[in-house]
Amino acid sequence: ESPGSSNAIAIRNTGQMEFPLTAGVEADFGGSTSTGSPSDILSASSTSRTIQGGAVYTTPFSPAVQSVQVMLKSDGRPLNARVELLQGPNNNKQVMEIYTEDGCERPFYAVIDTPGTGNVVRIVNTATVEFPLTACVEPYIVDESAVVDDQAKGGRGMTWS
């Protein structure tokens, strides 16, 4: 969200040229039929977690989850965070670094594709302890047929030992 005037959103791919990035930014103009922004809807319908400055929050997802929604906000203070998607032990993680000067007026909301198995979302509050943030991470698209196909092949989904 970017209320007020003269707002900018910067998206940069810091990876190598062989690894292009596809990103989209969509304006939400609200209107009379709007029930609120996606970040407002997510924070009202799910449980949130406070992440203190310097702390890490990690949550795994089942193979049926095809994408997750992530919302980060603060109580009006600056928000500095890193959102990481880990896909299995031997793959490079995908990283988003987030900064907003007012995490209450301009919360961060994104939908991240998580195909396959072994997906873990890790949120790191890179600010100091004086700047906690609130995070909600929930499944966005769930495909139950992925679990059924895996079980038919003798798999048990994601297991921890």
End-to-end CA, the chain: 41
- Burial of 6 per CB tally in 10 Å (0-12, 13-18, 19+): exposed
Q: What would the pLDDT profile of 113-134 be if each residue is shown by its tens digit?
A: 998 888 999 999 999 999 999 9
pTM: 0.77
Q: Specify the pLDDT at position 70.
A: 95
Q: What would the pLDDT profile of 19-32 be if each residue is shown by its tens digit?
A: 888 888 777 666 55
Q: Specify the pLDDT at position 120.
A: 94
Give the distance, in angstroms, between the CA of residue 85 and the centroid of all CA atoms in the same chain.
9
Kindly state the percentage of the chain with pLDDT values over 90: 46
| Separation CA 12–CA 25 (nearest Å) | 13
